[in-house]
Amino acid sequence: MDTRWKDSSFPLEKLLFRRQFVLGPNFVKEFPSWKTMNINDFYLTVHPDLPTYQATYKNKSITLLGYMVDPDNPYADNSEIINGLIYQLGTEDNFFEHTDKFGGRWILIVNDGKALKLFNDAAGLRQVFYTDVPGSTDLWCASQPGLIAETLHLETAPEASEFMNSHEYIHNRHHWWPGESSPYREIKHLLPNHYLDLGTGQPHRYWPNASLDSFSLREAVLANSQILYGLMKSMHNRFNLALSLSAGWDSRVLLATTKEMGGSLFYFTSMHWDLTEDSVDVKIPARLLAKLGITHHIIKCPDSVEDGFKKIYARNVTAAHDVYRVIARGLYDHYPQNWVCVKGDVSEIARCFYRLPESKGERVTAQQLAMLTRMGTHPFVMKAFAQWLSDATDSYNIDLLDLFCWEQMMGRWVAMIQAEYDIVHETFTPFNCRSLLTNMLSVREEYRQPPKFKLYRELISNLWAEVLSEPINPREPRGIKALVKAAWGTVIGVLNWWQLL
């Protein structure tokens, strides 16, 4: 192992590539303390903090990386869920549909006796990268591209370097990689709603495969209240949970699911960047929890990070975000060890997050996607989004931009952030459940849109109405500098929209 990364302040064996894995034609010998497992002709090398379970039945097997939870059976653990799933292999049904109801952050490697396939949770939050080298017989998969690149001694692609040197990438501290791209020409990202055929090394879309039914607001509220509570109850039975709170809708919904959990969670707000105790994302949760008789914890993050932690953080995930590094450092110092962090990500899929001006029935273009994401029109971006559009040929009655938010913003950006935080904690995202998401997308857009977000308000009211006693996302008081910045942002936004027309 490369000794340049050693630092006595941090336990290298524990933190380096924490909760990650490599699957390939042989074990990775550089990690002698990692777990190993055979799956047909593939060899799995897994960090000790990433749970694994394998079930076999006759000539079939299912291997789990990560964890799954069943909202219908809050007492089922990984083994019970996987042992139940294996008997669905080989039936006439679409096997993928049997995983729709499960939450968690997971990867399944499935041998149905005919083929070996790999796919992951609804939003792809347990990342999978794989080699895509024409004519190569050696397929490698891993939790982030740097692990494969180090193993195979790959270099960053020139076109990826150009993208990383672009104005849009440099000035977007929340950057992410478009389409299925990575910094390496030979490595691609497995997108949500796709599986990887480990026999051919090719990805295939398996969802959406039919139009969604229409749900009334009441139907969706009742069904999703039950799913959300069941998911949280399942996790609460299995892990110590810490709920990350802001003044926003998503974390308020999740807070409402904990009414019957007796305040046993660690409720906290991360105070980072320019947040202070007077910021609405800090003071609203503090006031609300005080009313509910629950202790609120504030985790103060540093303004900078020392070299030892910085090096490990940068190596753990290729092209890691500098801006999230200070949050990870603050959590490393003050977050309760071995507690799973509950976050409100992923529900943006149902919130009509991306929308375009009236396009007179014209199909969405790669240029429009590049503008919506503020990635610019670098050829690397345009090619990646054009390829995504060619794959998403039929979104049925799901708005194409909602599918884009699902597979790109969530499957690429949020998944990468959660991978970066793996150095500190495991993450649970209750909205990361296909049944839940499809129920939400089946509701009329007017109930899912700002500013009212009626679906969210009704969910909260149904689960724990008292948590509505504080405002949700109230406007932050702003000084002259902030007003000027906001005005300039509006000008830039108008110019971007003009280019889309």
Rounded to 10°, the helix 249-256/454-464 angle is 20
Q: How far is CA 95 from the centre of its chain?
A: 23
Q: What is the pLDDT of residue 359?
A: 58
Q: What is the pLDDT of residue 3?
A: 39
Tens digit of each residue's pLDDT, the chain (501 residues): 333 334 446 687 789 999 999 999 999 999 999 999 999 999 999 999 999 999 999 999 999 999 999 999 999 999 999 999 999 997 667 899 999 999 999 999 999 999 999 999 999 999 999 999 775 569 999 999 999 999 999 999 999 999 999 999 999 999 999 999 999 999 999 999 999 999 999 999 999 999 999 999 999 999 999 999 999 999 999 999 999 999 999 999 999 999 999 889 999 999 999 999 999 999 999 999 999 999 999 999 999 999 999 999 999 999 999 999 999 999 999 999 999 999 999 999 999 999 998 755 578 999 999 999 999 999 999 999 999 999 998 999 999 999 999 999 999 999 999 999 999 999 999 999 999 999 999 999 999 999 999 999 999 999 999 999 999 999 877 654 444 444 444 444 434 433 443
Class of domain 217-349+410-485: alpha beta
* Residue 489: both structure tokens together: 């942002």
Nearest to 279 by CA among 98, 47, 473: 473
* Residue 20: both structure tokens together: 């990650």
- Compute the distance between CA of residue 225 and CA of residue 464 in angstroms, rounded to an integer: 10
Q: What is the pLDDT of residue 424?
A: 96
Assessment of whether the complete model's pTM goes beyond 0.75: yes
Spans of all domains in the chain: 3-205, 217-349+410-485
The tens digit of pLDDT for each residue in 414-473 reads: 999 999 999 999 999 999 999 999 999 999 999 999 999 999 999 999 999 999 999 999
* Residue 281: both structure tokens together: 């994302």
Write out the H or E segment, with its range, that includes residue 96.
Answer: none
99 backbone dihedrals φ, ψ, rounded to 5°:
-100, 0
Q: What is the pLDDT of residue 325?
A: 97
Residues 363-377, buried b or exposed e (16+ Cβ, 10 A)? ebbbebbbbbbebbe
Q: Which CATH architecture has domain 3-205?
A: 4-Layer Sandwich (3.60)
Q: What is the pLDDT of residue 193?
A: 98
- Compute the distance between CA of residue 344 and CA of residue 341 in angstroms, rounded to an integer: 10
Residue 239: CB atoms within 10 A of its CB come to 16
Structural contact between residues 371 and 164, judged by C-beta atoms closer than 8 angstroms: no
